[in-house]
């Protein structure tokens, strides 16, 4: 048959097929777009109908008390009993973060809250197997579930999580959302968040974890109750190992690292949360309820060392005994350590009682302040001779020494170093108990007297009540030249700007510090290291040791919290070793107190002035008017430039300050800050101030009677 060429109808067929396919594709695309648009509209309407998320409840955290370096001292559970500690991605181990994202959400940084690829994979597995094999949840969706808990795994619940996840991503951003997961992820029981879990299972902060520990913390939130290592260690190990295998398959770990991590055992018990400075932390939370983070001035490492020391020494001393220690920074009064008991959780030692705030009898621990007041008022000098012999004072009071012996005539230095009772009472008689108590209270110490009785001579030997913290403040005052610091407990607290509290003057404080530095140390301790004094209360109820150097003041106490007597409990034997051991654990070399101006050196002065050579107890019986400084008056402010104005009390040359006394038995000895400036048979003298500042002016007569005033030269 002849060839008539191509059939036109056959050429048109492919073109018609292409046009039909295009029309079908457009129809399908339109249908899909319509479905997507309808679905998006439905999702949009669904999202708009949802109530707003309550992020305030999700933001609630356990209150944590930190030390001065932000080390955790003690956390507190939330109001509903949860342990949910503050944590951020920056404070967890980088390997943990890498494994978490690899295992839970590989595309976390790129998806908008929902991962389409993961959703499609989960849907395909569901269609193919008839059940959900992987949920396709992103970390954002998991946070949505944690913020808004809902039971069940329905499609509606999953849709709700998706909508919430997208909203959270827009509202918070990736970094804050990851922080929220780290704080809310469940780890079994009351543990929420990776920080609480790391402390409970490993006893460490999550900033530095082993590979095995990091993998376990990644695995637990998927099934926190059935994988708890303290209840189901085998399941916990299997879940951890799956995380390690995945991390190795994705190049985060080498096979050798994964194998080594699998060989590490899983913890089988929970560890207690940190409880350093438990009393101080508890008091801080009570004072600032609702504050999420409280920073104390305490040094956490020093606190831990001293808590161990207190527990060891109390256990060695006997049953039912407790111990307490306070360490102050002499610069500003910051509390560097506060050990309230020998064990906060030890009921046999009543560890919940904070003995740093308990009022107890200090025994001889207050004697240095009797001497300081006597030195300040010109009644005595460290080399003044005192009598340690049987003596009877007012109200038929006849004190005895601890060892029931007497030393005879001794210097004030030796009497204080040996803690002799009769010389201390003699000085208290000269100073006056009421004046002594008033000075301590003016310095800020909360002194309590028995049954509100008037102070008597026994207060020199501990016949009053004081707290360990107040005693530490007074001793810090000696280290600071007589200026008593306020107690600073918070890391950010600034030193007070109010009126200065003084327990004594700089020269008197240095005399006492110099004496106490020469006190014989306890057995096996070095001499001349620190200035210290011990005390034993009546009936062997309290043993004390207080010591200081230029930088730090430390006071230790040991006894029974219930106040029962403990035979043989003596400050020098029981408390002094704690003091010296605690100073050794400070890790610094002790430094002596710098010597101030106007210290009276006996060698340089050629001997003491006659009234200071020996303490005379019979001065009060001398006939005639009592010795009193008539000018300048106590508390006066004197302009140095006006010292030459007319008047009986000013010298005509305009250079010196006239001193005038009434009464007393000449000759009179005038002292300024403990330094003799004049000795005269008259009741007038002159002193040329060396410059502006405070000065303590004292006068003594031939019988040993004295008076003193404090003035300010301007």
Catalytic residues: 104, 364
CA-wise closest residue to 592 among 532, 534, 520: 532
DSSP 455: P
Rounded to whole angstroms, the Cα distance separating 340 from 321 reads 13
Rounded to whole angstroms, the Cα distance separating 71 from 67 reads 5
Residue 371's H or E segment, with its range, is: helix 367-376
Rounded to whole angstroms, the Cα distance separating 36 from 38 reads 5
Residues 6+ apart with CB under 8 A from 471: 362, 365, 366, 445, 544, 546, 555
∠ CA(483), CA(484), CA(485), 5° rounding? 115
Cβ–Cβ contacts within 10 Å for residue 623, how many? Answer: 5
Query: In a 3-state reduction of DSSP, which class is residue 543?
Result: strand
Query: In a 3-state reduction of DSSP, which class is residue 246?
Result: helix
CA 539 → CA 367, 462, 533, distances in Å? Answer: 18, 12, 19
Pair 335, 328: CB distance under 8 Å: yes
Rounded to whole angstroms, the Cα distance separating 280 from 356 reads 10
Rounded to whole angstroms, the Cα distance separating 216 from 235 reads 11
Rounded to whole angstroms, the Cα distance separating 578 from 588 reads 17
Rounded to whole angstroms, the Cα distance separating 269 from 536 reads 44
Rounded to whole angstroms, the Cα distance separating 483 from 504 reads 7
Query: In a 3-state reduction of DSSP, which class is residue 294?
Result: strand
Query: In a 3-state reduction of DSSP, which class is residue 325?
Result: strand
CA-wise closest residue to 316 among 57, 569, 108: 569
CA 86 to chain CA mean position, Å: 20
Pair 486, 444: CB distance under 8 Å: yes
What are the structure tokens assigned to 435, written together? Answer: 């004046």
Bridge partners of 628? 662
What are the phi and psi torsion angles at 398 (to 5°)?
-130, 85
Cβ–Cβ contacts within 10 Å for residue 12, how many? Answer: 10
Residue 284's H or E segment, with its range, is: helix 278-287
Residues 6+ apart with CB under 8 A from 185: 142, 146, 192, 193, 194, 221
Rounded to whole angstroms, the Cα distance separating 260 from 363 reads 61
Query: In a 3-state reduction of DSSP, which class is residue 289?
Result: coil
What are the structure tokens assigned to 227, written together? Answer: 């994988």
Bridge partners of 322? 559
Question: If you count them, how many residues does the chain have?
Answer: 714
């Amino acid at each position: 048959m002849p060839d008539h060429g191509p059939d036109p109808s056959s050429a048109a067929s492919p073109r018609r097929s292409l046009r039909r396919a295009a029309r079908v594709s457009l129809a399908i695309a339109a249908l899909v777009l319509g479905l997507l648009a309808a679905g998006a509209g439905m999702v949009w309407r669904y999202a708009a109908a949802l109530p707003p998320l309550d992020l305030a409840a999700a933001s609630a955290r356990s209150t944590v008390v930190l030390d001065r370096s932000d080390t955790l001292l003690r956390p507190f559970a939330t109001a509903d009993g949860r342990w949910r500690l503050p944590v951020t991605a920056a404070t967890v181990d980088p390997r943990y973060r890498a494994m978490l994202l690899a295992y839970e959400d590989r595309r976390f940084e790129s998806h908008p809250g929902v991962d389409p690829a993961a959703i499609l994979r989960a849907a395909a597995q569901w269609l193919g197997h008839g059940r959900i094999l992987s949920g396709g949840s992103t970390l954002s969706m998991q946070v949505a579930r944690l913020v808004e808990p809902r039971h069940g795994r329905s499609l509606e619940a999953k849709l709700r999580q998706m909508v919430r996840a997208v909203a959270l991503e827009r509202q918070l951003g990736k970094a804050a959302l990851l922080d929220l997961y780290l704080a809310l992820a469940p780890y079994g029981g009351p543990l929420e968040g990776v920080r609480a879990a790391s402390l409970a299972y490993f006893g460490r902060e999550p900033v530095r974890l082993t590979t095995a520990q990091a993998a376990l913390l990644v695995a637990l939130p998927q099934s926190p109750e059935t994988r708890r290592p303290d209840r189901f260690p085998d399941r916990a190990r299997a879940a951890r190992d799956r995380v390690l295998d995945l991390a190795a398959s994705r190049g985060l770990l080498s096979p050798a690292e994964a194998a080594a991590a699998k060989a590490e055992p899983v913890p089988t018990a929970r560890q207690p949360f940190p409880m350093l400075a438990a009393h101080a932390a508890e008091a801080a939370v009570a004072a600032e309820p609702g504050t999420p983070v409280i920073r104390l001035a305490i040094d956490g490492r020093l606190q831990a060392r001293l808590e161990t020391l207190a527990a060891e020494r109390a256990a060695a001393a006997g049953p039912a005994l407790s111990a307490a220690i306070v360490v102050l920074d002499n610069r500003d009064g910051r509390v560097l350590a506060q050990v309230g008991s020998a064990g906060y959780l030890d009921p046999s030692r009543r560890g919940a009682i904070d003995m740093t705030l308990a009022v107890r009898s200090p025994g001889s621990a207050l004697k240095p302040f009797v001497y300081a007041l006597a030195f300040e008022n010109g009644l005595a000098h460290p080399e003044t001779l005192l009598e340690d012999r049987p003596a009877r004072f007012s109200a038929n009071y006849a004190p005895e020494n601890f060892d029931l012996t007497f030393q005879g005539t001794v210097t004030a230095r030796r009497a204080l170093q040996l803690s002799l009772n009769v010389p201390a009472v003699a000085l208290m008689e000269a100073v006056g108990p009421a004046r002594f108590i008033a000075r301590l209270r003016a310095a800020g110490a909360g002194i309590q007297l028995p049954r509100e009785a008037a102070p008597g001579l026994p207060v020199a030997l501990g016949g009053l009540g004081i707290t360990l913290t107040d005693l530490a403040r007074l001793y810090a005052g000696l280290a600071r030249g007589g200026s008593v610091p306020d107690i600073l407990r918070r890391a950010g607290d600034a030193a007070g700007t109010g009126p200065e509290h003084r327990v004594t003057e700089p020269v008197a404080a240095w005399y006492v510090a110099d004496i106490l530095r020469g006190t014989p140390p306890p057995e096996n301790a070095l001499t001349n290291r620190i200035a210290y004094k011990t005390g034993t209360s009546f009936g062997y109820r309290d043993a004390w040791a207080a010591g200081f150097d230029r930088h730090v003041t430390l006071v230790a106490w040991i006894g029974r919290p219930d106040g029962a007597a403990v035979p043989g409990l003596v400050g020098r034997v029981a408390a002094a070793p704690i003091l010296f051991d605690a100073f050794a654990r400070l890790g610094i070399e002790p430094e002596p107190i710098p010597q101030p101006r106007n210290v009276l050196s006996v060698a340089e002065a050629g001997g003491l002035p006659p009234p200071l050579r020996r303490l005379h107890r019979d001065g009060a019986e001398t006939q005639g008017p009592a010795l009193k400084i008539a000018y300048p008056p106590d508390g006066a402010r004197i302009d140095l430039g006006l010292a030459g104005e007319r008047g009986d009390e000013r010298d005509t040359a305009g250079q010196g300050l006239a001193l005038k006394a009434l009464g007393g038995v000449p000759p009179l000895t005038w002292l300024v800050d403990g330094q003799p400036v004049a000795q005269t048979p008259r009741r007038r003298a002159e002193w040329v101030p060396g410059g502006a500042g405070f000065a303590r002016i004292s006068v003594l007569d031939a019988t040993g009677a004295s008076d003193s005033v404090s003035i300010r030269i301007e």
